[in-house]
């Protein structure tokens, strides 16, 4: 068996997440996040500056519990925000550090898009090249681009509302199977996040990046790091497309045959199934699913 761990991103948050792992010291060190995770309300938990540290905090707990059971991946990756949890898993960040960074990232991302009328849509059943062309056609109305390459048949477009609405109209005219409006608080992974990217660049100058102990497959590359530094990649990540499908295919090419999704829900598992149905999938979001996964992996 070759194991990959993938971490869910923003959008997967649910009220009650992490509660089954309590008591753990990290919750009491972050009382505001604990209260939001356990009791919500969902509207506040779904606000970017809160969602990001909450998701990362719960992911660090699950990562540590897996390590305590001797379960360490051969490769790790995360969807957007999930990349920070993957870097924690790989030993690049310490726990307090990664939660603080997620707080900062959520704050500067929200500030960067404040006042911009924006939209994100999932486009189903359309070729990449055609959708790229439609984004180009609509770009006279504002910033618009493909923000996520999730899996075969599912791409996400983000940008300024008028331009995205035009892409939606053109996609349906060009026989997209379906177009779904996404409930997000900004046009993430587009050039509109430039201010957030610059703020992260300054913040990273003060941070210690430890040696990577497990290979991380990065969103903006769809493979392992080459001649870039981790800070450079993370600066770029907020305003660049997420190549999730490419990342999973790379993981599989390295021999990974078993993948654990960490985080609420099974969004990423759904993408992986569409990429390669032969992968053995597990998902961990609470103590029950953790125990079940550990038992299965240990063959008990």
CATH number assigned to the domain comprising residue 160: 3.30.70.250
Q: Of 117, 123, 110, 116, which is closest to residue 46 (Cα–Cα)? A: 110
Question: In 3D, which of 182, 198, 189 has the Cα closest to residue 219?
Answer: 189
Annotated catalytic residue 223: no
Q: Are residues 99 and 122 in the same domain?
A: no
- Written as six digits, the tokens of 272 are 């992986």
Q: Same domain for 37 and 146?
A: no
Q: Of 129, 161, 182, which residue is a domain's last?
A: 182
Domain identity same for 51 and 168 = no
Can you say whether the dihedral through the CA atoms of 289, 294, 296, 297 is positive or negative?
positive
Taking each helix axis as running N to C, give the angle between helix 48-68 and helix 95-113, from 0 to 180 degrees, rounded to the nearest 10: 160
Q: What is the pLDDT along the chain (300 residues), one digit of tens a residue?
A: 999 999 999 999 999 999 999 999 999 999 999 999 999 999 999 999 999 999 999 999 999 999 999 999 999 999 999 999 999 999 999 999 999 999 999 999 999 999 999 999 999 999 999 999 999 999 999 999 999 999 999 999 999 999 999 999 999 999 999 999 987 778 999 999 999 999 999 999 999 999 999 999 999 999 999 989 999 999 999 999 999 999 999 999 999 999 999 999 999 999 999 999 999 999 999 999 999 999 999 987
Q: Check whether residue 88 and residue 209 sit in a common domain.
A: yes
62, 59, 3: which is closest to 280 by C-alpha?
Answer: 3
Residues 222 and 197 in one domain: yes
Q: Is 189 assigned a catalytic role?
A: yes
Decide which of 159, 182, 205 is a domain's last residue: 182
- Catalytic position from the list 80, 85, 145, 185: 80
Residue 39, domain CATH: 3.40.366.10
C-alpha–C-alpha distance, residues 99 and 108, integer Å: 14
Token pair 């040696």 is found at: 211
Catalytic residue among 12, 46, 185, 189: 189
One domain for residues 257 and 207:
yes
pTM of full prediction above 0.85? yes
**Residues 106, 203 within the same domain:** yes
**Number of structural domains in the chain:** 2
Given 182, 199, 234, which residue is the final one in a domain? Answer: 182
Whether 158 and 252 map to the same domain: the answer is no
Structure tokens at 97: 């550090």
Range of 147's domain?
A: 118-182
């Amino acid at each position: 068996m070759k194991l990959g761990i993938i971490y869910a991103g923003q959008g997967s948050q649910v009220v009650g997440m992490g509660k089954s792992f309590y008591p753990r010291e990290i919750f009491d060190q972050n009382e505001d996040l604990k209260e939001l995770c356990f009791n919500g309300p969902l509207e506040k938990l779904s606000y970017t500056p809160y969602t990001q540290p909450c998701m990362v905090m719960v992911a660090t707990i699950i990562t540590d519990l897996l390590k305590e059971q001797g379960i360490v991946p051969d490769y790790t990756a995360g969807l957007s925000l999930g990349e920070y949890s993957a870097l924690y898993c790989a030993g690049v960040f310490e726990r307090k550090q990664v939660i603080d960074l997620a707080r900062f990232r959520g704050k500067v991302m929200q500030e960067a898009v404040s006042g911009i009328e924006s939209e994100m849509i999932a486009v189903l059943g359309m070729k990449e090249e055609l959708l790229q062309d439609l984004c180009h056609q609509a770009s006279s109305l504002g910033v618009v681009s493909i923000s996520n390459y999730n899996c075969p048949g599912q791409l996400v477009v983000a940008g300024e509302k008028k331009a995205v609405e035009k892409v939606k109209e053109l996609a349906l005219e060009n026989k997209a199977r379906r177009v779904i409006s996404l409930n997000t608080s900004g046009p993430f992974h587009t050039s509109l996040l430039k201010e957030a990217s610059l703020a992260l660049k300054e913040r990273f100058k003060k941070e210690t990046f430890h040696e990577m102990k497990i290979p991380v497959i990065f969103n903006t590359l769809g493979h392992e790091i080459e001649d870039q530094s981790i800070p450079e990649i993370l600066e770029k990540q907020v305003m660049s497309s997420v190549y999730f499908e490419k990342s999973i295919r790379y993981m599989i090419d390295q021999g990974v045959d078993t993948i654990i999704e960490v985080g609420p829900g099974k969004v990423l598992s759904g993408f992986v199934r569409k990429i390669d149905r032969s992968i053995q999938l597990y998902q961990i979001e609470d103590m029950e699913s953790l125990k079940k996964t550990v038992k299965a992996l240990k063959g008990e």
